[in-house]
Structure 1
């Protein structure tokens, strides 16, 4: 799926309840009330579409890129939150002064029955909390697996609360056609959640893997290799990534995304370059050989397979080397005739992973805190370094593959555009989106 197709699908799905309401021809009300209802319905439909957008569906993420998909997910979730927060305040004019009897013709849109309003009030409180926890996740002191479980349960609870509120407290939601529409849309959203947490693990149980080696590449980086057990392995492209679950049940929340550092041409074993950053990654070096593992993937579109550019520029920062290492290995094993050049940045010399292997390539190592005897490039991967490394012709004709910290990616992407590199020749993968 291309980005334009994804955006079109999102807009069609999000605005479909408004189109259906218009088609049903309900009696119009004052603009303020119609706007309130419209924002409420739009917020609900956007929240339901978010389930599918974040559901790790390969047809979506592999065409657009998981980082782009998740960025859209974040932006749209915050937009839905804004619509939801504004929505009830636009009803003030319908509820001021005098008695508020049951609205037989549903012209007020809101009922005075608190049981019908309570679900909306609960969702109104939970939704900002869910978004705030997602934004601040990296600064909170709890495990990724805990946050993921809380996020999934919270999103499911909000969807069910909004379904009840929309059908029982809304003027339009009570119409039979709209009730069935919301039931169907909520069913699809919840179904996508069940697919990720139930169907995918069931498939994984029949396709287990075993850890065959754990090799230390730098003081804080390990390359973990797994082999398929009783099946043919994983059909992937160099540069993609998987969700790794090692040492747990297939239904465990203990899975994390890691880029594949091995090459498809090397055989069925899959290697992952992992840096010690969190609770699980700090234990990678202690994982025994023959430990059972499960892989969900492949995901991502950071691949140069089938492209026609004469050269491939690989620009990595830190552990961003992982997918680019897979691309280098694949090009080497398949005797790829395209030129290739690696620019690899780290803080200190000891952080250069797989150094002996990379030194066989056309490479540029960059250190931000080098020692006095360092003979390579010093500083950051910036515009000046890129100009020293690539010619004007290479900027215009090569494909540039980037992976690393956001600051590095922003600098490199901006300079590539300035030097005439077409956007479709810049492939990047970000670690975070805020």
Structure 2
């Protein structure tokens, strides 16, 4: 799916309640009241569509990339929050509770009925809290599994509160057609969450994997190999990633995203390069072979398949080398004639993965803290280094594939675009999102 189609589908879904409300032909109210209703409906519909956008559906993330998917999720969630915060501020006045036969078209904008107001007020308080917790996840240092559970259940609770508030306090929500639309959209949103937390694990449990090898690559980086048990494995493209669950139930939240560091041509076993960074990754070296594992994937679009550029430039920082290894191996195994080069940055030499192999392939090695006998590039992968190692022809025609720290990728993307490389020739993948 191309980003333009995702935008079109998103806008259509989010604006459907507005279109239906406009088609009711009810008498118009003061413009700020209509604007208040519109902002409320847009906020609710956007929140519901966000469930689909963030639901790990490969038809979305596999077509446009996880980067685009997650950035859209962040941008649109914050936009919906802004609409929701403005919604009640545009209303004024009140009416008595109970039936309102004098107001058949719901001209009055505020109800004093306790429950419809209470659910709206509660959602009004919870929504910014949910967004703030997501934005502060890294700095607060709480476990990813806990955050994921709180985020999912919190979003579901907010959707339920907003549904009640919309049906019983909204002018348009009380209309039967509108009510059925809101109920249907909420059911679809909740269904996507149920799929991720219940259906997908059932499917994964039917196709288990086992750890077949654990190899130390550097002092703090490991390669884990998993192989399928009783099935053909995973149909993936070089450069994609998967969510890996090792040693837990298929229904466990203990899973993490890792790039696949092997090529499809290598066979059904999958390699993952994992750096010790957190609770799970710090225990990778102690995982015994034979441990049961589950794989959710493939995801992402960091792949050179189907691209027509004559040259591929891979730029990796740290553990971002993992998908590049898979891409390089696949190009070699399939006899791909496109020229491929690699720029690979680390802090110290001891962090370089598969050094001999990559140096033999002509990789440009970059160290920010090089030893005295270092003969490669020094510093960071920044504008000055790129200008030094890339030719004008590469800037003009090559496909660039980036994976690594966000700061590095932001700087590389900005410089390439400033030099004239269109964004369509820059592929990137991040795993660090707020």
Normalised to the residue count of structure 1, the TM-score between the two structures is 0.97
1:421 paired residue number = 421
Asked if the contact 2:257–2:431 (Cα under 8 Å) also holds between the matched residues in 1, the reply is no
Q: How does 1:28-427 map to 2 (within 5 A)?
A: 28-92=28-92, 94-95=93-94, 100=96, 102=98, 103-104=100-101, 105=103, 106-427=106-427
Q: 2:397 and 2:81 mapped to 1: Cα distance? A: 43
SS class of match (1:271): strand
Contact 1:315 1:403 in 2 (8 A): yes
66-75 vs 416-425, greater mean Cα deviation: 416-425
Instruction: Tell me the residue number matched to 1:24.
Output: 24
String of CA shifts for 1:302-352, please: whole Å, max 9, x gaps.
001122222111000111111111101111222221111110011111111
Tell whether the 8 Å contact from 1:402 to 1:428 is kept in structure 2 after alignment: yes
Q: CA RMSD in A?
A: 1.2
CA distance in 1, matches of 2:121, 2:420: 52
- Report the Cα distance in structure 1 between the residues aligned to 2:32 and 2:397, rounded to whole angstroms: 54
Q: Is the 8 A contact 1:340 1:362 kept in 2?
A: no
Using the TM superposition, give the Cα deviation of residue 100 of structure 1 relative to its aligned residue in structure 2, in angstroms.
Answer: 3.5
- CA–CA distance in structure 1, aligned partners of residues 421 and 33 of structure 2: 49
State whether residues 346 and 367 of structure 2, in contact with CA within 8 Å, keep that contact through their aligned partners in structure 1.
yes
Indicate the SS of the match to 1:359.
Answer: helix
Q: More deviation in 227-236 or 23-32?
A: 23-32
Deviation at 1:423, TM superposition (A): 2.2
Alignment gaps of 5+ in structure 1: none
Instruction: Give the TM-score taking structure 2 as reference length.
Output: 0.97
Contact 1:405–1:431, Cα closer than 8 Å, also in 2: no
- The CA deviation at 1:419 is 2.6
Return closer, same or farther for 1:431/1:101 CA change in 2, 3 Å cut-off: closer
Offset, 1:422: 2.7
Task: Return the alpha-carbon distance in structure 2 between the equivalents of residues 101 and 51 of structure 1.
Answer: 34
Asked if structure 1 preserves the Cα contact closer than 8 Å seen for 2:97 and 2:113, the reply is no
Instruction: Say if 1:275 and 1:319, in contact at 8 Å, map to a contact too.
Output: yes
Contact 2:240 2:301 in 1 (8 A): yes
Q: CA contact under 8 A between 1:67 and 1:433: conserved in structure 2?
A: no
- Answer yes or no: is the 8 Å Cα contact 1:238–1:323 preserved in 2: yes
**Quick one: structure 1 residues 266 and 101, their matched pair in 2 at CA, closer, same or farther if it must change by over 3 Å?**
closer
Contact 2:67-2:429 at 8 Å conserved across structures: yes
